[in-house]
Each structure stands twice: as structure tokens, then as C-alpha cells.
């Protein structure tokens, strides 16, 4: 069965909502543009903007610990750097992340909204060229919708694919087929990627992205149903190009 890209997502602020894209340009050794560009660091986190280094996700607000984040919807404009945050369909903050005043507005909102869940006042952090990925390398995450459907079979309930916060979701093929691509190259349209590892799933997947409740223990379902806690793969981009919804995936 042919494989094709069904959905493209980016997450401009680590831990906040997904944004759907119809197409995206990628570059070798980079993730999707503006994916995990920003993060909300705990006040106690010592992130050096001038010399950024990868840090484990517990240094930042994240769904694994802070499910209330899923109540928010965010819209980020890459051209103007304007971030809009909505709750229950109403705008709660809109700010220019390109200046100190805008960042302060965002920090003040999250300090109040996440009161009691932060270690000190949260700081909106960014560094040129840095990506707040869950792993130390810049990668694109990929999940087969057939694998999600297999998890639904075990769970006996619908599973929103956005629980897994992937960049690329593909349709077609068989469940868990993407695990066969480890250490191999694949092609998405004219873009080649090297698949580097499986994605180990954590408590973030227990959060329903629509209701912000912990209503399904995905890691336990994976362990009981499949004897592993993995879903999806990480891949490194090898060349410049564009990926679009509907693009075929080649694995030969």
C-alpha cells in the first residue's frame, strides 16, 4: 500500500498546541522551521541564551507534568513573531515575541495561569538556531496513522494522534512499519531523511489534547499490548526541499 503525508504539525512553543501546515521547507540538519523554537523555562532553570545547550524537558513547562497547558490554543506568526494564546476560544494574551515587552506579557500570563506548578516565575526562552527538542539532536518526528489505529484497537477507544505531538503523520502501510526504517534513508517527495531512532513515550501522551485531562495511560497500553513503550520515529533531514500534505513516502 502506498504511503503519503496526511498531516504536518509544528509546535512553536514547547508544550503548547500544534499548528497544522499544508507545506513546509526544510533544511539539512534542522527540524521544521519554528518547531520548538521557544520554551517556557522554570524560574530555577539556568538556560544560557548566549551559549545554548540541550537540556532535559523537566527544565521547562511540559505536558508530562503540566496538563493544564492543553487547555490553551496558540497561533504563531513566523513573519511578525506575534504569539496569540486563547483559552475556551477567547484571546487571553497576544504579544510580539521579538521584543522584551511582548515576552514579559507572555511570562506574566503563564506565571498566573500555572501558579503552583512552576519553580519560580516562568521565563520564555529562545536562542538563535536552538531547538527545544526532547532529544539532543535536531530531528523531525514521524508517526504512521496505522500504528495509532493499532493502539486504538488495544485501547478499545479513539486515540487522537496529536497526543504524540509528531511533525509528520502518514497514511497507508501497516502498523509499526516505520520501525523497520531505523538506520535507513527514506524520501518524502524530493526530501531525503535518515531515520535514527524510535520515540520512547512518556506521560505527556496520557493528556487528551482536546480536554486537557489525563484520560488514557498510553505508555501502559503500549507496554501491555506491544511489549514496548515506543510510538513513532525520529529522522534527520539530509537535503533542502519542501514537504507537503499528500507527498508520497519512498522507503526503498
Query: Strand pairing partners for 73?
Result: 86
User: Does residue 202 belong to any structural domain of this protein?
Assistant: yes
User: Does residue 183 belong to any structural domain of this protein?
Assistant: yes
Whether residues 141 and 226 share a domain: the answer is: yes
- pLDDT for position 36: 98
Average pLDDT over residues 25-44: 97
- pLDDT for position 246: 97
Whether residues 141 and 238 share a domain: the answer is: yes
15 closest CA partner among 76, 70, 78, 85 = 70
Whether residues 117 and 44 share a domain: the answer is: yes
Whether residues 116 and 139 share a domain: the answer is: no
Whether residues 111 and 193 share a domain: the answer is: no
Whether residues 238 and 173 share a domain: the answer is: yes
Whether 90 shows a pLDDT value over 80: the answer reads yes
What rounded mean pLDDT belongs to the chain? 96
Boundary-marking domain end, from 74, 99, 125: 125
User: Does residue 204 belong to any structural domain of this protein?
Assistant: yes
Whether 1 shows a pLDDT value over 80: the answer reads no
Distance CA 252, CA 246 (A): 19
- pLDDT for position 9: 98
> Among residues of the chain, what percentage have pLDDT more than 90?
99
- pLDDT for position 248: 97
What is the separation, in whole angstroms, between the first and last Cα of the chain? 13
Whether residues 156 and 178 share a domain: the answer is: yes
User: Does residue 227 belong to any structural domain of this protein?
Assistant: yes
Contacts of 214 (CB under 8 A, 6+ apart): 67, 203, 206, 207, 208
Boundary-marking domain end, from 80, 98, 125: 125
Boundary-marking domain end, from 106, 125, 144: 125
3-state secondary structure of 243: strand
User: Does residue 182 belong to any structural domain of this protein?
Assistant: yes
3-state secondary structure of 161: helix
Whether residues 118 and 178 share a domain: the answer is: no
Average pLDDT over residues 82-108: 97
- pLDDT for position 50: 92
User: Does residue 130 belong to any structural domain of this protein?
Assistant: no
User: For the segment 201-251, what is each residue's pLDDT rounded down to a tens digit?
Assistant: 999 999 999 999 999 999 999 999 999 999 999 999 999 999 999 999 999
What is the H or E stretch that residue 52 is in? Answer: none
Where are the alpha helices (H) located in the chain, listed in sequence order? 100-113, 145-155, 218-226
Whether 168 shows a pLDDT value over 80: the answer reads yes
Strands 140-144 and 168-171: parallel
Average pLDDT over residues 91-107: 97
Domain with 55, as residue range(s), is 39-125
Whether residues 113 and 150 share a domain: the answer is: no
Average pLDDT over residues 91-111: 97
Residue 143 near residue 232 (C-beta atoms within 8 A): yes
Whether residues 67 and 154 share a domain: the answer is: no
Whether residues 229 and 173 share a domain: the answer is: yes
pTM of the model: 0.96
Per-residue pLDDT band for 99 (boundaries 50, 70, 90) equals very high
Strands 19-21 and 140-144: unpaired
Per-residue pLDDT band for 27 (boundaries 50, 70, 90) equals very high
Distance CA 171, CA 169 (A): 7
User: Does residue 193 belong to any structural domain of this protein?
Assistant: yes
Distance CA 104, CA 165 (A): 27
Provide the number of structural domains found in the chain. Answer: 2
Average pLDDT over residues 62-86: 97
Whether residues 93 and 164 share a domain: the answer is: no
Count other C-beta atoms under 10 Å from residue 123's C-beta: 22
Whether 252 shows a pLDDT value over 90: the answer reads no
Q: CATH number of the domain that 224 lies in?
A: 2.40.33.20
User: Does residue 181 belong to any structural domain of this protein?
Assistant: yes
Amino acid at each position: 500500500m502506498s504511503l503519503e503525508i496526511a498531516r504536518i504539525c509544528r509546535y512553536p512553543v514547547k508544550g503548547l498546541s500544534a499548528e497544522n501546515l499544508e507545506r513546509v521547507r526544510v533544511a539539512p540538519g534542522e527540524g521544521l522551521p519554528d518547531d520548538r523554537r521557544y520554551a517556557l523555562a522554570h524560574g530555577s532553570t539556568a538556560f544560557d541564551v548566549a551559549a545554548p545547550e540541550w537540556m532535559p524537558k523537566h527544565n521547562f513547562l511540559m505536558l508530562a507534568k503540566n496538563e493544564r497547558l492543553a487547555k490553551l490554543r496558540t497561533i504563531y506568526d513566523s513573519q511578525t513573531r506575534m504569539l496569540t494564546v486563547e483559552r475556551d476560544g477567547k484571546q487571553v494574551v497576544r504579544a510580539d515575541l521579538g521584543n522584551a515587552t511582548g515576552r514579559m506579557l507572555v511570562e506574566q500570563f503563564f506565571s498566573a495561569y500555572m501558579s503552583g506548578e512552576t519553580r519560580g516565575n516562568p521565563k520564555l526562552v529562545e536562542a538563535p538556531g536552538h531547538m527545544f527538542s526532547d532529544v539532543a539532536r535536531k530531528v523531525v518526528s514521524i508517526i504512521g496513522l496505522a500504528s495509532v489505529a493499532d493502539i486504538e484497537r488495544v485501547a478499545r477507544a479513539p486515540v487522537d494522534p496529536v497526543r504524540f505531538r509528531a511533525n509528520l503523520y502518514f497514511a497507508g502501510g501497516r502498523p509499526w512499519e516505520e520501525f523497520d526504517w531505523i538506520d535507513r534513508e527514506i524520501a518524502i517527495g524530493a526530501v531525503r531523511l535518515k531515520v535514527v531512532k524510535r520515540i520512547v513515550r512518556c506521560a505527556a501522551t496520557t493528556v487528551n489534547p482536546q480536554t486537557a485531562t489525563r484520560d488514557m495511560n498510553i505508555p501502559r497500553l503500549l507496554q501491555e499490548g506491544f511489549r514496548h513503550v515506543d510510538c513513532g520515529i525520529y529522522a534527520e533531514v539530509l537535503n533542502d526541499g519542501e514537504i507537503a500534505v499528500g507527498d508520497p513516502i519512498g522507503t526503498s
